[in-house]
Amino acid sequence: MSNPLELHHVSVAYDGPPVVRDISLTLEPGAIGCLIGPSGCGKSTLLRAIAGFEPLRRGEIRLAEQRVAAVGHSLPPESRRVGMVFQDFALFPHLSVVGNLAFGIRRLPRRARRARVESLLELVGLADAAALYPHQLSGGMQQRVALARALAPGPAVLLLDEPFSSMDATLREQLAREVREVLRREGVTAILVTHDQIETFAMADRIGVLADGGLRQWDSALGLYL
């Protein structure tokens, strides 16, 4: 089986020196990876490059065997089969939970769309909240809606950019474990950006330690301690 995510000697820059440089990593099918490090070390920049929001100065990114980025070549974000969950969840306030989940799969036939939405509501435990609107949901419920919406189109890779950062430590750990279980049940490959060790060790199969734009280590949690 091919690897859903492969980075080969990736460097990303804006107007000056590279923000991330010479990063190589592979994420196996169904695995959850975490990028951890201090603010400004390049975590979110790397995630944006994978999503297609930043061009590469050097290297190559492959998603599900397809080359999606290289120098002078960048497949548009909408063509990459990448799902994203942002810090603020970015839910549509004028749409119900069902409306939010169905938004990205509007092209499916009505029956298939309804079946997919219903299965996702069950998956994230929100079947009873289907008709509610974002302002009627708790932070944890909003997070689960954002996750389900990102999963709806069946992405090859799911990217999560500090999705628990606005929550207290206890809720962060609980939600990290819930999200891990949802991703496991869907069989989705995912990569999470965080600066929080609790989230990292609650979720990750592979952990990438970033510092000053470089990848210092890419290993299991056990491997980081050995």
Q: What is the per-residue pLDDT across 198-215, written as a single tens digit (0 to 9) for each?
A: 888 888 999 999 999 999
Domain ranges of the chain: 1-81+155-226, 92-154
What is the C-alpha separation between 138 and 154, in angstroms, rounded? Answer: 25
Contact 10, 18 (CB under 8 A): no
Q: What is the reported pLDDT for 34?
A: 94
Contact 107, 152 (CB under 8 A): no
Percentage of the chain lying above the pLDDT 90 cut: 64
Contact 209, 37 (CB under 8 A): yes
CATH 3.40.1280.10 for the 1-81+155-226 domain, yes or no? no
Contact 137, 199 (CB under 8 A): no
Q: Give whole-number Cα distances, 39 to 35, 143, 192, 194, in Å.
A: 12, 22, 15, 9
User: Which residue is listed with tokens 């509007």?
Assistant: 106
pLDDT, tens digit, for every residue of 169-200? 777 778 788 888 888 988 899 999 988 888 88
**DSSP result, 146-177:** HHHHHHTT--SEEEEESTTTTS-HHHHHHHHH
pLDDT, tens digit, for every residue of 92-126? 999 999 999 999 898 899 999 999 999 999 989 99
pLDDT band at 22 (very low <50, low <70, confident <90, very high): very high
